[in-house]
Amino acid sequence: MNVTSLAKQVLAALSATTALGLAAPAVQAQEKVLNLYSARHYQTDEALYANFTKATGIRINRVDTDDAALLQRLKTEGSASPADMILLVDAARLWRAEADGLFSPVKSAVLDQRIPAQLRGKDSGDGSQWFGFSTRARVIVYSKADVKAENVDTYEKLADPVNKGRFCSRSGSHPYNLSLFGAYLEHLGDAKAEAWLKGIVANQARDPKGGDTDQIKAVASGECGVALTNTYYVARLMRSNNPDDRKVMEQVGVIFPNQKTWGAHVNVAGGAVARHARNRDAAVKFLEYLASDEAQRYFADGNNEYPAVSGVKTANPALTALGSFKQELIPISVVGQNSAKVQQILDRVGFK
Protein backbone atom coordinates (compact mmCIF):
# COMPACT_ATOMS: atom_id res chain seq x y z
CA MET A 1 0.00 0.00 0.00
CA ASN A 2 1.49 3.33 -0.94
CA VAL A 3 1.68 6.29 1.36
CA THR A 4 -1.06 8.18 -0.44
CA SER A 5 -3.54 5.34 -0.04
CA LEU A 6 -2.63 4.90 3.62
CA ALA A 7 -3.07 8.60 4.25
CA LYS A 8 -6.48 8.51 2.64
CA GLN A 9 -7.55 5.60 4.85
CA VAL A 10 -6.31 7.34 7.99
CA LEU A 11 -8.14 10.52 7.05
CA ALA A 12 -11.32 8.52 6.35
CA ALA A 13 -11.06 6.77 9.71
CA LEU A 14 -10.51 10.04 11.50
CA SER A 15 -13.49 11.58 9.73
CA ALA A 16 -15.73 8.67 10.68
CA THR A 17 -14.56 8.82 14.29
CA THR A 18 -15.16 12.53 14.39
CA ALA A 19 -18.61 12.13 12.87
CA LEU A 20 -19.56 9.45 15.39
CA GLY A 21 -18.12 11.52 18.20
CA LEU A 22 -20.34 14.45 17.22
CA ALA A 23 -23.40 12.37 16.54
CA ALA A 24 -23.38 10.45 19.82
CA PRO A 25 -23.61 13.52 22.08
CA ALA A 26 -26.32 14.92 19.81
CA VAL A 27 -28.40 11.79 20.33
CA GLN A 28 -27.64 11.74 24.05
CA ALA A 29 -28.53 15.39 24.36
CA GLN A 30 -31.86 15.02 22.56
CA GLU A 31 -34.20 16.92 24.82
CA LYS A 32 -37.48 15.54 26.14
CA VAL A 33 -40.24 18.00 25.29
CA LEU A 34 -43.97 18.51 25.60
CA ASN A 35 -45.75 20.77 23.13
CA LEU A 36 -48.66 22.30 25.03
CA TYR A 37 -51.55 24.31 23.59
CA SER A 38 -53.14 26.21 26.48
CA ALA A 39 -56.20 28.42 26.82
CA ARG A 40 -55.33 29.16 30.44
CA HIS A 41 -53.92 32.66 30.91
CA TYR A 42 -53.01 32.63 34.58
CA GLN A 43 -49.55 33.74 35.63
CA THR A 44 -49.67 31.43 38.63
CA ASP A 45 -49.63 28.43 36.25
CA GLU A 46 -45.97 29.19 35.52
CA ALA A 47 -45.05 27.34 38.71
CA LEU A 48 -46.91 24.27 37.45
CA TYR A 49 -44.84 24.17 34.29
CA ALA A 50 -41.54 24.88 36.03
CA ASN A 51 -42.04 22.23 38.70
CA PHE A 52 -43.08 19.61 36.17
CA THR A 53 -39.91 20.24 34.17
CA LYS A 54 -37.80 20.13 37.34
CA ALA A 55 -39.34 16.81 38.38
CA THR A 56 -39.26 15.07 34.99
CA GLY A 57 -36.70 16.84 32.83
CA ILE A 58 -39.40 17.38 30.21
CA ARG A 59 -39.34 20.91 28.82
CA ILE A 60 -42.67 22.48 27.94
CA ASN A 61 -43.06 24.42 24.69
CA ARG A 62 -46.23 26.43 25.04
CA VAL A 63 -48.72 28.10 22.73
CA ASP A 64 -51.08 30.40 24.66
CA THR A 65 -54.26 31.67 23.05
CA ASP A 66 -57.99 31.79 23.70
CA ASP A 67 -60.12 28.66 23.43
CA ALA A 68 -61.74 29.46 20.08
CA ALA A 69 -58.45 30.32 18.38
CA LEU A 70 -56.77 27.27 19.89
CA LEU A 71 -59.43 24.88 18.61
CA GLN A 72 -59.42 26.48 15.17
CA ARG A 73 -55.64 26.16 15.02
CA LEU A 74 -55.84 22.44 15.84
CA LYS A 75 -58.42 21.90 13.11
CA THR A 76 -56.34 23.82 10.57
CA GLU A 77 -53.12 21.98 11.43
CA GLY A 78 -54.76 18.56 11.29
CA SER A 79 -52.33 15.64 11.41
CA ALA A 80 -49.42 18.06 11.03
CA SER A 81 -50.14 19.66 14.40
CA PRO A 82 -47.17 19.62 16.80
CA ALA A 83 -49.53 19.73 19.80
CA ASP A 84 -49.10 16.95 22.36
CA MET A 85 -51.49 18.24 24.97
CA ILE A 86 -54.37 20.71 25.22
CA LEU A 87 -55.64 22.71 28.19
CA LEU A 88 -59.12 24.24 27.90
CA VAL A 89 -61.50 26.09 30.20
CA ASP A 90 -65.18 25.14 30.41
CA ALA A 91 -67.19 21.98 29.77
CA ALA A 92 -68.81 23.29 26.57
CA ARG A 93 -65.40 23.88 24.99
CA LEU A 94 -64.04 20.51 26.11
CA TRP A 95 -67.08 18.74 24.69
CA ARG A 96 -66.81 20.64 21.41
CA ALA A 97 -63.17 19.61 20.99
CA GLU A 98 -64.04 16.03 21.89
CA ALA A 99 -66.88 16.00 19.35
CA ASP A 100 -64.54 17.40 16.69
CA GLY A 101 -62.13 14.51 17.25
CA LEU A 102 -59.26 16.64 18.51
CA PHE A 103 -58.41 14.44 21.52
CA SER A 104 -56.82 11.04 21.99
CA PRO A 105 -58.26 8.89 24.81
CA VAL A 106 -56.13 8.10 27.84
CA LYS A 107 -56.34 5.13 30.14
CA SER A 108 -54.52 5.90 33.38
CA ALA A 109 -54.99 4.25 36.77
CA VAL A 110 -53.69 7.42 38.44
CA LEU A 111 -56.21 9.68 36.72
CA ASP A 112 -59.10 7.26 37.16
CA GLN A 113 -58.36 7.03 40.87
CA ARG A 114 -57.92 10.74 41.51
CA ILE A 115 -60.29 12.53 39.13
CA PRO A 116 -64.02 11.95 39.88
CA ALA A 117 -65.95 10.21 37.10
CA GLN A 118 -68.29 13.18 36.54
CA LEU A 119 -65.26 15.40 35.82
CA ARG A 120 -63.98 13.28 32.94
CA GLY A 121 -64.83 13.12 29.27
CA LYS A 122 -66.47 10.24 27.43
CA ASP A 123 -64.92 6.77 27.88
CA SER A 124 -65.67 4.30 25.10
CA GLY A 125 -63.53 1.59 26.67
CA ASP A 126 -60.08 2.79 25.66
CA GLY A 127 -59.86 5.63 28.19
CA SER A 128 -61.35 9.05 28.86
CA GLN A 129 -61.16 11.78 26.24
CA TRP A 130 -60.29 14.49 28.78
CA PHE A 131 -59.91 15.13 32.51
CA GLY A 132 -61.02 18.05 34.66
CA PHE A 133 -58.29 19.33 36.99
CA SER A 134 -59.89 22.30 38.70
CA THR A 135 -63.44 23.42 39.32
CA ARG A 136 -65.36 26.62 39.86
CA ALA A 137 -68.96 26.98 41.03
CA ARG A 138 -71.46 29.23 39.23
CA VAL A 139 -72.85 31.18 42.17
CA ILE A 140 -75.41 33.93 42.67
CA VAL A 141 -74.35 37.34 43.98
CA TYR A 142 -76.98 39.75 45.28
CA SER A 143 -77.26 43.22 46.75
CA LYS A 144 -77.39 43.00 50.54
CA ALA A 145 -79.23 46.34 50.62
CA ASP A 146 -81.99 45.57 48.12
CA VAL A 147 -82.46 41.81 47.82
CA LYS A 148 -83.42 39.15 50.34
CA ALA A 149 -81.22 36.08 50.23
CA GLU A 150 -84.21 33.74 50.34
CA ASN A 151 -85.45 35.23 47.06
CA VAL A 152 -82.31 34.17 45.18
CA ASP A 153 -81.19 30.95 46.86
CA THR A 154 -81.90 28.76 43.81
CA TYR A 155 -81.28 29.13 40.10
CA GLU A 156 -85.02 28.78 39.56
CA LYS A 157 -85.72 31.95 41.54
CA LEU A 158 -83.74 34.05 39.08
CA ALA A 159 -86.83 33.80 36.88
CA ASP A 160 -89.29 34.61 39.68
CA PRO A 161 -91.28 37.86 39.17
CA VAL A 162 -90.02 39.03 42.58
CA ASN A 163 -86.69 39.68 40.83
CA LYS A 164 -88.13 41.60 37.87
CA GLY A 165 -85.75 44.34 36.71
CA ARG A 166 -82.95 43.08 38.93
CA PHE A 167 -81.01 40.46 36.97
CA CYS A 168 -77.71 41.26 35.22
CA SER A 169 -75.61 38.90 33.16
CA ARG A 170 -72.83 38.54 30.66
CA SER A 171 -73.87 37.10 27.28
CA GLY A 172 -76.14 34.11 27.53
CA SER A 173 -74.04 32.47 24.82
CA HIS A 174 -70.83 32.70 26.82
CA PRO A 175 -69.59 29.18 27.63
CA TYR A 176 -69.89 29.80 31.39
CA ASN A 177 -73.61 30.43 30.96
CA LEU A 178 -74.09 27.78 28.29
CA SER A 179 -72.74 25.19 30.71
CA LEU A 180 -74.97 26.32 33.59
CA PHE A 181 -78.02 26.38 31.33
CA GLY A 182 -77.03 22.97 29.94
CA ALA A 183 -76.94 21.60 33.47
CA TYR A 184 -80.35 23.11 34.23
CA LEU A 185 -81.75 21.52 31.08
CA GLU A 186 -80.35 18.14 32.16
CA HIS A 187 -82.00 18.46 35.57
CA LEU A 188 -85.46 19.63 34.46
CA GLY A 189 -85.83 18.96 30.74
CA ASP A 190 -86.21 21.13 27.63
CA ALA A 191 -89.62 22.68 28.33
CA LYS A 192 -88.90 23.78 31.88
CA ALA A 193 -85.46 25.05 30.90
CA GLU A 194 -86.97 27.20 28.14
CA ALA A 195 -89.64 28.60 30.46
CA TRP A 196 -86.94 29.39 33.02
CA LEU A 197 -84.73 31.21 30.53
CA LYS A 198 -87.71 33.15 29.24
CA GLY A 199 -88.41 34.26 32.82
CA ILE A 200 -84.79 35.34 33.30
CA VAL A 201 -84.96 37.50 30.17
CA ALA A 202 -88.12 39.12 31.55
CA ASN A 203 -86.23 39.94 34.78
CA GLN A 204 -83.18 41.56 33.15
CA ALA A 205 -82.19 44.98 34.41
CA ARG A 206 -80.28 45.66 31.18
CA ASP A 207 -78.96 43.88 28.11
CA PRO A 208 -76.17 41.40 28.84
CA LYS A 209 -72.67 42.87 28.72
CA GLY A 210 -69.24 42.59 30.28
CA GLY A 211 -67.67 39.72 32.18
CA ASP A 212 -68.34 38.15 35.55
CA THR A 213 -66.41 40.76 37.53
CA ASP A 214 -68.47 43.47 35.83
CA GLN A 215 -71.66 41.78 37.04
CA ILE A 216 -70.43 41.72 40.65
CA LYS A 217 -69.53 45.40 40.50
CA ALA A 218 -72.89 46.24 38.89
CA VAL A 219 -74.65 44.62 41.83
CA ALA A 220 -72.50 46.56 44.30
CA SER A 221 -73.20 49.86 42.50
CA GLY A 222 -76.96 49.31 42.49
CA GLU A 223 -77.26 48.95 38.72
CA CYS A 224 -78.48 45.39 39.32
CA GLY A 225 -79.85 43.45 42.24
CA VAL A 226 -78.64 39.97 41.38
CA ALA A 227 -76.18 38.29 38.99
CA LEU A 228 -74.30 35.09 38.20
CA THR A 229 -70.54 34.66 38.53
CA ASN A 230 -67.89 32.00 38.83
CA THR A 231 -66.41 31.64 42.30
CA TYR A 232 -62.85 32.51 41.34
CA TYR A 233 -63.94 36.02 40.36
CA VAL A 234 -65.48 36.41 43.81
CA ALA A 235 -62.35 35.07 45.50
CA ARG A 236 -60.15 37.36 43.41
CA LEU A 237 -62.00 40.44 44.66
CA MET A 238 -61.94 39.12 48.22
CA ARG A 239 -58.14 38.72 48.07
CA SER A 240 -57.48 41.99 46.25
CA ASN A 241 -55.18 44.62 47.73
CA ASN A 242 -57.39 47.31 46.20
CA PRO A 243 -59.70 48.80 48.87
CA ASP A 244 -62.37 49.42 46.22
CA ASP A 245 -62.51 45.71 45.40
CA ARG A 246 -62.90 44.77 49.03
CA LYS A 247 -65.63 47.40 49.41
CA VAL A 248 -67.49 45.79 46.51
CA MET A 249 -67.50 42.47 48.33
CA GLU A 250 -68.80 44.12 51.50
CA GLN A 251 -71.92 45.19 49.58
CA VAL A 252 -72.79 41.88 47.94
CA GLY A 253 -73.85 38.54 49.31
CA VAL A 254 -72.77 35.22 47.78
CA ILE A 255 -75.04 32.18 47.52
CA PHE A 256 -74.26 28.64 46.47
CA PRO A 257 -77.64 27.84 44.89
CA ASN A 258 -79.84 24.77 45.21
CA GLN A 259 -78.27 23.43 48.37
CA LYS A 260 -81.52 21.65 49.24
CA THR A 261 -81.85 20.02 45.83
CA TRP A 262 -79.17 19.03 43.32
CA GLY A 263 -76.45 21.47 44.42
CA ALA A 264 -74.52 24.31 42.83
CA HIS A 265 -73.45 23.99 39.21
CA VAL A 266 -69.72 23.28 38.90
CA ASN A 267 -67.64 23.77 35.78
CA VAL A 268 -64.08 22.68 35.00
CA ALA A 269 -60.78 23.51 33.46
CA GLY A 270 -59.43 20.36 31.86
CA GLY A 271 -56.72 18.76 29.82
CA ALA A 272 -56.41 16.14 27.09
CA VAL A 273 -53.81 14.45 24.93
CA ALA A 274 -53.92 15.81 21.39
CA ARG A 275 -55.07 13.40 18.70
CA HIS A 276 -51.80 13.54 16.77
CA ALA A 277 -49.44 13.79 19.77
CA ARG A 278 -45.88 12.79 18.99
CA ASN A 279 -44.78 12.99 22.62
CA ARG A 280 -47.71 11.07 24.04
CA ASP A 281 -45.88 9.65 27.07
CA ALA A 282 -44.84 13.15 28.13
CA ALA A 283 -48.42 14.36 27.73
CA VAL A 284 -49.80 11.57 29.92
CA LYS A 285 -47.15 12.31 32.54
CA PHE A 286 -48.23 15.95 32.60
CA LEU A 287 -51.90 14.97 32.92
CA GLU A 288 -51.00 12.80 35.89
CA TYR A 289 -48.90 15.59 37.39
CA LEU A 290 -51.88 17.97 37.20
CA ALA A 291 -53.78 15.49 39.39
CA SER A 292 -51.05 15.51 42.05
CA ASP A 293 -51.59 17.21 45.41
CA GLU A 294 -48.88 19.75 44.56
CA ALA A 295 -50.51 20.84 41.29
CA GLN A 296 -53.97 20.82 42.82
CA ARG A 297 -52.81 23.25 45.50
CA TYR A 298 -51.46 25.58 42.82
CA PHE A 299 -54.88 25.69 41.17
CA ALA A 300 -56.48 26.56 44.51
CA ASP A 301 -53.95 28.88 46.10
CA GLY A 302 -52.74 30.54 42.92
CA ASN A 303 -55.92 30.99 40.88
CA ASN A 304 -58.76 30.59 43.38
CA GLU A 305 -60.05 27.39 41.77
CA TYR A 306 -61.31 24.39 43.71
CA PRO A 307 -59.21 21.22 43.47
CA ALA A 308 -60.79 18.45 41.42
CA VAL A 309 -59.14 15.87 43.65
CA SER A 310 -60.93 15.34 46.95
CA GLY A 311 -59.09 15.81 50.20
CA VAL A 312 -56.52 18.33 48.94
CA LYS A 313 -56.11 21.07 51.53
CA THR A 314 -55.84 24.68 50.40
CA ALA A 315 -54.36 27.69 52.14
CA ASN A 316 -56.53 30.08 50.11
CA PRO A 317 -58.29 32.36 52.65
CA ALA A 318 -61.06 33.34 50.23
CA LEU A 319 -62.03 29.76 49.43
CA THR A 320 -61.95 28.99 53.14
CA ALA A 321 -64.21 31.99 53.86
CA LEU A 322 -66.67 30.93 51.14
CA GLY A 323 -66.97 27.58 52.88
CA SER A 324 -67.98 24.13 51.73
CA PHE A 325 -71.02 23.52 49.58
CA LYS A 326 -73.07 20.83 47.89
CA GLN A 327 -72.30 20.51 44.20
CA GLU A 328 -74.22 18.84 41.41
CA LEU A 329 -72.97 15.44 40.28
CA ILE A 330 -74.22 15.19 36.69
CA PRO A 331 -71.42 14.40 34.20
CA ILE A 332 -69.72 17.53 32.93
CA SER A 333 -69.50 15.93 29.49
CA VAL A 334 -73.32 15.80 29.31
CA VAL A 335 -73.50 19.46 30.32
CA GLY A 336 -71.23 20.38 27.43
CA GLN A 337 -73.18 18.22 25.02
CA ASN A 338 -76.34 20.19 25.84
CA SER A 339 -74.78 23.50 24.78
CA ALA A 340 -76.01 23.37 21.16
CA LYS A 341 -79.59 22.77 22.26
CA VAL A 342 -79.30 25.53 24.87
CA GLN A 343 -78.14 28.00 22.22
CA GLN A 344 -81.27 27.30 20.18
CA ILE A 345 -83.42 28.00 23.24
CA LEU A 346 -81.54 31.24 23.94
CA ASP A 347 -82.24 32.38 20.41
CA ARG A 348 -85.94 31.64 20.81
CA VAL A 349 -86.34 33.50 24.13
CA GLY A 350 -84.16 36.46 23.10
CA PHE A 351 -81.35 35.97 25.62
CA LYS A 352 -78.54 37.81 23.85
| pLDDT over 90, % of the chain | 84
Domain 136-264+335-349: state its class. Answer: alpha beta
Does the pLDDT value for residue 11 go beyond 80? no
Q: What is the pLDDT of residue 91?
A: 87
Q: What is the pLDDT of residue 298?
A: 93
Which of the four pLDDT bands, split at 50, 70 and 90, describes residue 2?
very low
Nearest to 198 by CA among 186, 184, 211: 184
pLDDT top residue among 303 and 28: 303
Which of the four pLDDT bands, split at 50, 70 and 90, describes residue 352?
very high
Q: Where in the chain is the domain with CATH 3.40.190.10?
A: 34-135+266-315, 136-264+335-349
> In whole angstroms, what is the distance from residue 254 CA to residue 206 CA?
21
Would you say 205 and 292 are in contact if contact means Cβ atoms under 8 Å apart? no
Could you read off the pLDDT of 241-274 as tens digits, one per residue?
999 999 999 999 999 999 999 999 999 999 999 9
Q: What is the pLDDT of residue 124?
A: 83
Q: What stretch of H or E contains 305?
A: none
Give me the chain's average pLDDT, please. Answer: 91
Cα first-last separation, the chain: 90
Could you read off the pLDDT of 49-102 as tens digits, one per residue?
999 999 999 999 999 999 999 999 999 999 999 999 999 998 889 999 999 999
Predicted TM-score (pTM) of the model is 0.87
Q: What is the pLDDT of residue 26?
A: 41
> Annotation-wise, does 233 bind a ligand?
yes
Please report, for residues 82, 83, 198, 283, the alpha-carbon distance to residue 280 in angstroms, rounded to integers and kept in the order given: 11, 10, 46, 5
Does the pLDDT value for residue 15 go beyond 60? no
Confirm or reject CATH 3.40.190.10 for domain 34-135+266-315, answering yes or no.
Answer: yes
Could you read off the pLDDT of 143-158 as tens digits, one per residue?
999 999 999 999 999 9
